[in-house]
Amino acid sequence: MRVFVCRRLPESALAVLTDAFGEREVAVYPEDRVIPREDLLAAVRGVEALLPILTDRMDAEVMDAAGPQLKIIANYAVGFDNLDVPAATARGIAVTNTPDVLTETTADLAWALMMAAARRIGEGERYLRAGRWKSWAPMLLLGVDVYRKTLGVFGMGRIGQAVARRAGAFGMRVLYHDTAPLPPDAEAALGATFVDKTTLLRESDFISIHCPLTPETRHAFAAPEFHAMKATAVLVNTARGPVVDEAALADALRHGEIFAAGLDVFEREPAVHPDLAGCENAVLIPHLGSATAETRARMAEIAAANIIARLRGEIPPNCVNPEALSAQACRTTRK
Ligand code: GLV
Ligand code: GLV
């Protein structure tokens, strides 16, 4: 068996893999749940390619359990904080992700959360379904406007830019913060202004998080940040849970330090901090950023294409660690 897929995926991608390698060379974890660690360590033995999803931790132990013939780990996600990239690079293993195809889908979801949090959609739905709606009322479930407000994008990569582009239709001013500004033409096309983090916190009505999870971005949003934000501000996170300190966010939401939050990702998925679950002004959804039928199929096809390229001895199109494929590593592969 050459390829192990850690979770059942859209059929189109499995077909691409079985066409390329034959049905007997592709195994898929049969249960519809996160593969237990022991099963993972046993299943990977001897494979050349692994296709994990973002809940599967891919560290040195897994790579060594697979063995020296492992050539690629094709993550079914754009984020790859579940993967020990240096360990893969040291072993000549290519790591790939699924960028681009999920950019617009995730940007749509960030907007859905922004608007749901601003206009109290979750609360309103719970209220109606509970049979509590007695009449239209001037003060019922008042939210905050989105139109003409200031959007702060934290992390101006592909997804951050797609979120910023949509802000034009809402007449918004767009600020952003990242480790470096965009090139001037890209910035001008988006009508976005690079600011330091303090300015972003102070001036934004909406902050949408789009940075990767790294040691530097862990808890980038914690008590001091919530304190610096406007009392009417809305925070949205569709990136990675640990970028936000959930306990501190729950405190800020409870004490009115910010108006509301929309969260698609959590510090310890699938667990949600109990204090957060108790906040009416938090819109909470189960990591659905890329969850459309079209995008999930495209992500699977891209992961499959990366595997096929690598097992043919090519540099896979979405390789995040091309340095792993030094001349030496490629020669070994082609033997
Ligand atoms: C989802 O969170 C992804 O990184 O693709
Ligand atoms: C992810 O693809 C990003 O660059 O935002």
Residue 332 in this model has a pLDDT that exceeds 50: no
Q: Which CATH architecture has domain 3-100+293-334?
A: 3-Layer(aba) Sandwich (3.40)
The one-letter amino acid at 61: E
236 strand-pairing partners? 208, 262
What is the per-residue pLDDT for 327?
55
Q: Which residues line ligand 1 (CB under 6 A)?
A: 54, 77-79, 102, 289-290
Residue 335 in this model has a pLDDT that exceeds 90: no
Supply the DSSP string of 70-131, one letter for each residue. --EEE-BSS--TTB-HHHHHHTT-EEE---STTHHHHHHHHHHHHHHHHTTHHHHHHHHHTT
Span from the CA of 33 to the centroid of ligand 2 (angstroms): 27
At 173, is the secondary structure helix, strand, or coil?
strand
Fold: same for 3-100+293-334 and 103-284? yes
What is the per-residue pLDDT for 312?
96
Mean pLDDT of 307-324: 97
Give the pLDDT confidence of 93-120 residue by residue, as tens digits: 999 999 999 999 999 999 999 999 999 9
In the chain, where the domains are located: 3-100+293-334, 103-284
Give the pLDDT confidence of 134-153 residue by residue, as tens digits: 999 999 999 999 999 999 99
Mean pLDDT of 255-266: 98
Omega before 99 within 30 of 0, i.e. cis = no
What is the per-residue pLDDT for 31?
94
Mean pLDDT of 238-265: 98
CB burial readout 75-105, b (16+ within 10 A) else e: bbbbbbbbbbbebbbebbbbbbbbbebbbbb
Our answer to whether residue 177 is catalytic in this structure is: no
Span from the CA of 262 to the centroid of ligand 2 (angstroms): 19
Ligand nearest to the CA of 298: 1
Our answer to whether residue 240 is catalytic in this structure is: yes
Residue 328 in this model has a pLDDT that exceeds 70: no
Name the residue at shortest CA distance from atom 5 of ligand 1. 77
- The CATH number assigned to the domain with range 103-284 reads 3.40.50.720
Q: Pick from 65, 14, 78: which is nearest to 211 by CA?
A: 78
What is the per-residue pLDDT for 262?
99
- At residue 4, φ and ψ (nearest 5 deg) are -120, 125
Give the pLDDT confidence of 287-314 residue by residue, as tens digits: 999 999 999 999 999 999 999 999 999 9
What is the per-residue pLDDT for 203?
98
Which entry of 7, 177, 210, 240 is annotated as an active-site residue? 240
Percent of the chain with pLDDT over 90: 95
Give the pLDDT confidence of 17-30 residue by residue, as tens digits: 999 999 999 999 99
Q: What is the pTM of this model?
A: 0.94
What is the band of 330 on the pLDDT scale with cuts at 50, 70, 90? Answer: very low
The pair of three-digit structure tokens given for residue 95, joined into one six-digit string: 């790591």
